[in-house]
Structure 1
């Protein structure tokens, strides 16, 4: 589903009204002719489209991040797919005040980059990675990854953000990322590794085991690259569940 198929950002338009529009063949902003809904709602839709169309042409993801209800922000992905950045962090624990970020991986397009503590993981390099993104995607990143990075590196990460944990729950996919991957058939090279192993591997690396760092980086990269596959599956499923018409 694309942004221009959506009417739900308009004040007074809920899921039922949006679906009624679609069922009457109004599946795109260009199809809207003022029919199906009342005069006030029709005016609001027309005003929204007049403002939103040039914003979309300009690639203004922030505008749509603010316009869409939080549970519907997955709809931004198709329009901003090429400038979406998937990311995941590994840490030595759950408390940003006492624990450290060890690796952070970013995946966009065909490129994957991993930053490592003590090497190239700094506030500046994190800003460089987030800066080009119109949309970022994580799993539980709103509650964990983003606050952890912001506190650890004195950052503000305000890029439009889809946390896949929530649309996954909407589809009945619960548990952590590894469980969700298993449920949808995404395979890993090392399915035996977990977050606890990530802590252990970092400690081994600190004691001089370079191979442990290689394994940790590979694990972090799997987490991140698999987010793209999961995002594609989730948005396709939500499209099929939500949309009436042909996108």
Structure 2
């Protein structure tokens, strides 16, 4: 599913109205003809489509992300899949005013980069990595990773953001990243350690244990790389449950 299949960002269009459009064969912006909905709403949809085409031509996805609920931002994925940045961070605690970012892993186009506190993790370097991406994909990053980075490193991370925790909930997948991975059968090569273990490993590294840092980096990278598999799985399931179900005349399963 691409953003051109969506009418949900339009003011006044909810999921029920969008499903009605799809069931009547209006499954793409190109197919909208003003029927099915009233005149006022039709005018809004036509205005949205005009603006939306201009945004897509310019590579601007922020207006769509801002207009979509967090649980529905997965709809952007097919448009920008080659330019998303999967991000996960490790810290020494939960308070960005008192604790530090230890590692930041970024996975994009099949390559993973990990920035390490005291080595190459700087605001300038991280900002360059963020600016080079069309969108961020995280798990619980909307509430934790992004605000923490903005506070601790003063970076600007206001680009479109797909926080997979919310579309996972739409599919009935609750809990943390690792339990969801297990439920979906997503393998994890690295040892299953906790956030508390990650803090311990960092402090061991500060005391001179380089092996502890290597283990922490592998753990951080595994979280980040697995986000890509989770993104693919979740977007495929929601495409089927939300879009294909409605186009085939069935009630949405989510």
The alpha-carbon distance between structure 1 residues 192 and 49, as it changes in their structure 2 partners (threshold 3 A), is: closer
Tell me the TM-score normalized by structure 2.
Answer: 0.93
Q: Distance in 2 between matches of 1:89 and 1:75?
A: 25
**Aligned-residue offset at 1:71:** 2.8
Q: Distance in 2 between matches of 1:12 and 1:193?
A: 45
Q: Distance in 1 between matches of 2:36 and 2:27?
A: 12
**Aligned-residue offset at 1:55:** 1.2
**Aligned-residue offset at 1:114:** 0.2
Count of residue pairs the alignment pairs up:
246
Give ranges in structure 1 of 5+ residues lacking alignment.
none
Matched, 1:31 2:28: no
Per-residue CA distance 1:164-204 (angstroms, 9 max, x = gap): 11111111111111111111111111343121211111111
Contact 2:127–2:156 under 8 Å retained in 1? no
Per-residue CA distance 1:91-124 (angstroms, 9 max, x = gap): 1111122211110000111111000011000111
Contact 2:191–2:219 under 8 Å retained in 1? no
SS at match of 2:247: coil
Matched, 1:81 2:81: yes
**Aligned-residue offset at 1:234:** 0.8
Q: Distance in 2 between matches of 1:142 and 1:228?
A: 17
Q: Distance in 2 between matches of 1:121 and 1:65?
A: 28
Contact 2:70–2:166 under 8 Å retained in 1? no
- Structure 2 equivalent of residue 219 of structure 1: 219
Give 1:245's match in structure 2, choosing from 234, 238, 247: 247
Matched, 1:58 2:71: no
Q: Distance in 2 between matches of 1:40 and 1:69?
A: 23
Runs of 4+ in structure 1 off by over 4 angstroms are none
The alpha-carbon distance between structure 1 residues 122 and 144, as it changes in their structure 2 partners (threshold 3 A), is: same
Give ranges in structure 2 of 5+ residues lacking alignment.
249-254
SS at match of 1:143: helix
Tell me the TM-score normalized by structure 1.
Answer: 0.95
Q: Distance in 2 between matches of 1:101 and 1:44?
A: 44
Q: Distance in 1 between matches of 2:237 and 2:139?
A: 17
- Bigger shift: residues 202-211 or 117-126: 202-211
Q: Distance in 2 between matches of 1:12 and 1:154?
A: 36
RMSD across aligned positions (CA): 1.3
- Structure 2 equivalent of residue 99 of structure 1: 99
Q: Distance in 2 between matches of 1:8 and 1:235?
A: 16
